[in-house]
Amino acid sequence: MIKYTEEKTNNKLKVMTKDKRAKRASALKQFHKEVGKNTRVNAKRAVQSLEYAKHTRVK
Amino acid sequence: MNYSIVVLEKNDDINDFCEYIKEYNYLENGLFDRLKSVFESTGFPCTIVCEFEYVDKFYRDSYYHYFAGKHFYYERNCKRLSIFKGKIEEGLLFDYSDKNEVYLNSCFIGTIVLKPINIGKIGRCLLDPCKLNIKKSYLRLTSFDMVVIGHIFKINAFPYSSQDSETITCAETTVWSILEYYGNRYSEYKSVLPSDIYNEISRISNERVWPSKGLEYEKVSDLLKTFGFSPRLYAAESYGVSSKFDFTNCSEYHRIFHYYVESGIPFAVGIIASDPEDVGHSMVCIGHSSKKKDLGDINSLDIDGVPYVDSADYYTDYIMIDDNRVPYVIDDFYDISEYGNDTYVDVFAVPLYKRIMMEASDARAIISQLLQYDDYNFNYFLRNYPDIITGKNNPVVVRLFLTSSRKYKHFRAKNSGSRDESEFYANCLLPKFLWVAEISTHEEFENNRVLGEIVLDATFSISCEDQDYENSVILIRYFSHVGYAKDKGGLRKYLDENGEEVEYYINGFDMILDGLEEDNQFSESFQLYVNNLQAVGEN
């Protein structure tokens, strides 16, 4: 049997300080908040679009 | 003889040709002009094979279900015109050698069916835009096989038909055209005929369906859903637009429209005049022209002193399949003057695949926040490349589109700068569909090069509640830095500040960020993704 590919593994552990972890958590919270604001507007528009589409007749 | 062969050498020959095929007196002015425009775009000379007794399944369906029940006589058969570029000698049309068939296929432009009815005489048309004289554009086409005097020809086209206003109006032809395209291209869908559309409308309609009085756009979407899609409707009014004059430059509504065009998804577009009493019209958008707006006419968004523009704002001209005009017409999104000066895009229905849960506006919301996310925003990486000078004349450009992972993998692996890069893309575990945001500068974008990309999972669903939006991110590549989320995350080992081993629960997004901290063998810029649309025409 000829095996061309080998699984590449990287066992070197990365450093995660408490500060870095806290910074990431706070940035992620802000990210959720900002995306959430926009997706709520999008959801509202989706409902409205369906309603408006009932009144557009094409011929 | 069931057929005849005619060569048109100049524009004036079109009148004689219509007289010859005994259609001249039956063609209304509008239809005659349309036929003339088609021949003008094929160029002269051109050779036409006219079949006088052609069975067209599309018309035959309308005939059996509708026209056959009328008092006055309607013919069952149609005429079919098969058009070839240049003057083809008669002998060559009956030479069935392989070499000659290849030559004839290269000259074959397509077919036009003429129906034996007075309104909507131009029936099913399949014309290859690569062989027509049209402006340079990027379109979605699919392959069709057809038999003409014993030869099997293959062309790329988008199906077109005009409306007969009794069995099919613009609403039904829009649905038919979309289904004819998808049914020929993908095994998941099937083509439909007017009676199939009639049957489905009958189920949801409270009164008779034929003669057709058109459809509300909600029903157009309903039909697409019935035939196997998961459509999404976008109405201009929900974006604060209730007349043509409400549109501002670079509007959000237009951007959403463009993302789907860039994704290579042909979709239904409903236009209407500002007068609420008017009935609208429907057509299919299949691509965009290569014409770009000047950078000065595009609004930019400032992120930490770096201007960002949306690539959607460069384009306003779109390629339409409109049953009232010739195939492949170009319309300006902000100025569809063909139907009056106050006409605008009022609604569009995008036939999405059933597994695509994330729609364009949500993908955009996530991408726009990711670009600014903490220290991992794009500007942070851009600062490491002082040679790239961004500013008003060279802003950062973001291009968003949807694609399948099959095509994405193939394109990236094929166009990579190294074996490492190809191997990485080939090995990525990806969902069936992806939202991709390519990031570039204006100058690099003009050279079809990009500096980064963010890949989102299009099967990720967004609900109204706050949720882990970061789990939709699968891959981020900024220059040669690549972070990839293999799974949703879990407990992973790290070293703390004292060098001690600790376990943290991390999500997939953390994995991406960890990956981004490392350099690797990837090239700093890579090829712009051009797998969704096909380039046709001359500049």
- For the stretch B94-145, pLDDT in tens is 999 999 999 999 999 999 999 999 888 899 999 999 999 999 999 999 999 9
- Looking at residue B340, its pLDDT comes to 80
Which residues of chain A have a CB within 8 Å of the CB of B496? 15-18
Interface touch A17/B502, C-beta < 8 Å: no
CA distance B112 to A56: 31
Cβ-defined contact of B464 to A14 (cutoff 8 Å): no
Instruction: Please tell me the predicted confidence (pLDDT) of residue A45.
Output: 95
pLDDT of residue B215: 94
Contact B238 A33 (CB under 8 A): no
> Model confidence over B156-174: pLDDT tens digits?
999 999 999 999 999 999 9
Test A49 with B238 for CB contact under 8 angstroms.
yes
| B247-299 tens-digit pLDDT | 877 689 999 999 999 999 999 999 998 776 677 999 999 999 999 999 999 99
Which candidate in B204, B207, B213, B218 is best for mutational testing of the A interface (most A CBs within 10 A)?
A: B218
pLDDT of residue B234: 97
Is the pLDDT assigned to residue B35 strictly greater than 90? no
Task: Give the best residue of B279, B339, B469 to mutate against chain A (max A CB count within 10 A).
Answer: B469
Partner residue facing B216 (CB), from A18, A39, A56: A56
* pLDDT given for residue A8 in this prediction: 63
- Partners of residue A39 in chain B, C-beta under 8 Å: 362, 365, 462, 464, 469
Give the pLDDT score at A10.
64
Q: Provide the whole-model pTM.
A: 0.95
Which residues from chain B sit within 8 angstroms of residue A44, using beta carbons? 238
Q: Cα-flanking dihedrals φ and ψ of residue B401, to 5°?
A: -155, 165
| A13 to B495: CB separation less than 8 angstroms, yes or no | yes
**A13 to chain B: nearest residue by CA?**
B494
Closest CA to A24 of B36, B195, B512: B512
Question: Among the CATH numbers 3.90.70, 2.40.170, 1.10.1240, 3.40.50, which is that of B201-350?
Answer: 3.90.70
Q: What is the ipTM of this complex?
A: 0.92
Closest-CA residue to B410 (of B529, B522, B515): B529
pLDDT of residue A14: 84
Amino acid letter, A25: A
**pLDDT over 90 at B437, yes or no:** yes
Q: If you average pLDDT over every residue of chain B, what do you get?
A: 91
- pLDDT tens profile B471-493: 899 999 999 899 999 888 888 88
Report the residue of B466, B473, B509, B510 to disrupt the A interface, i.e. the one with the largest count of A CBs within 10 Å.
Answer: B466
B388 with B524: CB under 8 angstroms?
A: no
Mean pLDDT of B56-72: 95
Q: State the residue for tokens 């051009």.
A: B530
Contact between chains at A16 and B169 (C-beta distance less than 8 A): no
Domain ranges of chain B: 3-157, 201-350, 360-536
The answer to whether residue B528 scores a pLDDT higher than 90 is: yes
Tell me how crowded residue B48 is: count the other CB atoms within 10 A of its CB. Answer: 21
CB contacts < 8 A, A to B, total 149
How far is Cα B250 from Cα B201, in angstroms, rounded to an integer? 37
Distance from CA of A6 to the nearest CA of B (A): 12
- Write down the pLDDT at residue B452: 94
* Chain A residue whose CA is closest to B367: A35
Are B369 and A35 inside 8 Å of each other by CB? yes
